[in-house]
């Protein structure tokens, strides 16, 4: 980290793509990772949380809090992406079992707390379905004003989706959350 580090919360459903995003963020000097929230998506919530802890440990950042969140989508039955990311969510990668630290607040509450304590400076980056973010906005309607920048991996504009001709996985997985 540098004196210009920006506070960052990542919201992930750790499959292969999220693992790479976590590794990149951990290696970036200007990212002050406050925590990582996990959500069902590519894999179950338990697998996403385990994968996140394992990737952070491999990156030498097991100190970063991991906040489990939504185990189900808001509006539809859970559909995973195991055909893309494999049974564990990390393809053929075999990572050591991570420690299982005590779980504190729900991801939505942790996101709200981070936004309040870094009001106007927090970057919130979602690389999974938007369920945790939607729950946080429902609990704290001022959240969008507390966050400096909200970055998502989702949607398709000039190209087709990766699930259907018009749907990208993270939006398709929980369209109700994306609407919020």
What is the percentage of the chain residues whose pLDDT exceeds 70?
A: 83
**pLDDT for res 160:** 59
What backbone torsions phi and psi does residue 67 show, to the nearest 5 degrees? -110, 105
- Alpha carbons 92 and 17: distance in angstroms, whole number: 13
- Domains of the chain (ranges, CATH numbers): 6-179 (3.90.245.10)
Closest CA to 152 of 176, 169, 128: 128
- What is the model's pTM? 0.89
- Alpha carbons 14 and 161: distance in angstroms, whole number: 20
Residue 86: which region, alpha, beta or left (left: phi > 0; alpha: psi -120 to 50)?
A: left
pLDDT digits (tens, 9 = 90+) for 140-174: 999 999 999 999 988 666 665 555 555 678 887 89
10 Å CB burial of residue 43 (0-12, 13-18, 19+) is buried
**pLDDT for res 77:** 66
- Alpha carbons 68 and 160: distance in angstroms, whole number: 31
**pLDDT for res 165:** 59
């Amino acid at each position: 980290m540098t004196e210009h580090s920006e506070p960052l919360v990542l919201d992930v459903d750790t499959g292969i793509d999220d693992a790479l995003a976590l590794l990149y963020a951990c290696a970036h000097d200007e990212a002050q990772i406050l925590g990582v929230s996990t959500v069902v998506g590519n894999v179950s919530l338990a697998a996403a949380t385990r994968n996140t802890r394992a990737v952070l440990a491999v990156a030498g950042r097991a100190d970063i809090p991991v906040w489990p969140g939504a185990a189900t989508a808001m509006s539809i039955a859970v559909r995973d992406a195991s055909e893309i990311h494999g049974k564990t969510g990390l393809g053929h990668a075999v990572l050591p079992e991570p420690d299982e630290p005590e779980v504190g607040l729900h991801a939505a509450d942790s996101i709200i707390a981070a936004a309040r304590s870094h009001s106007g400076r927090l970057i919130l980056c979602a690389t999974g379905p938007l369920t945790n973010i939607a729950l946080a906005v429902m609990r704290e309607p001022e959240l969008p004003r507390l966050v400096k920048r909200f970055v998502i991996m989702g949607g398709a504009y000039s190209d087709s989706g990766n699930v259907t001709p018009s749907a990208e996985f993270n939006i398709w997985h929980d369209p109700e959350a994306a609407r919020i």
